[in-house]
Amino acid sequence: MITPAAIVSTAAIAALGILCVALLITVWRVVVGPSLPDRILALDMLTGIAIGFIAVVAVRTGFSLYIDIAIALGLVGFLATVAFARFVLSRGTVGDAGSGTRRRGK
């Protein structure tokens, strides 16, 4: 008979594997770009995946203080995205020409 801890441990290992694949795919988007807002969006997504990693580690180790760390990381990620959006608003048009987006001629 499978114990409950074995069920959760197997699911946590599978979730870690799937999250690793998701992290690598998102890092690919950060590297490729093609424009600055694409990279900012992918970095925001990376923060979300990191929160997921921390939650899975909290399940595996049984150390519930990790949840507070995940919430703090979510707050930092939100503020970073807002700050990056302000940065794009002020000087996002400078020198990041991309193939996926067209731009207004100035």
Partner 1 sequence: MLDYALAVVTAVLLLAGAFFALVAAIGIVRLPDLYTRMHAASKAGTVGSGLLLLAAGLYSGELAVLARALAGFLFFILTAPVSAHLLARASHISGHFPADISVRDDMRMR
Under the rule (CB under 8 A), what is the footprint of partner 1?
4-5, 7-8, 10-12, 14-16, 18-19, 21-23, 25-26, 28-29, 35-38, 40-42, 44-45, 48-49, 51-52, 55-56, 58-59, 62, 64, 66-68, 70-71, 74-75, 78, 81-82, 84-86, 88-89, 92-93, 98, 100-104, 106
Query: What is d(CA 55, CA 83) in angstroms, rounded to the nearest whole number?
Result: 26
Q: Taking the complex as a whole, how short is the minimal distance between the CB of residue 70 and partner 1, in angstroms?
A: 6
The DSSP line for 32-83 is: H--SHHHHHHHHHHHHHHHHHHHHHHHHHH--TTHHHHHHHHHHHHHHHHHH
Q: Let me know: does 51 contact 74? Beta carbons within 8 Å.
A: yes
Nearest approach, Cβ of residue 80 and partner 1 (Å): 9
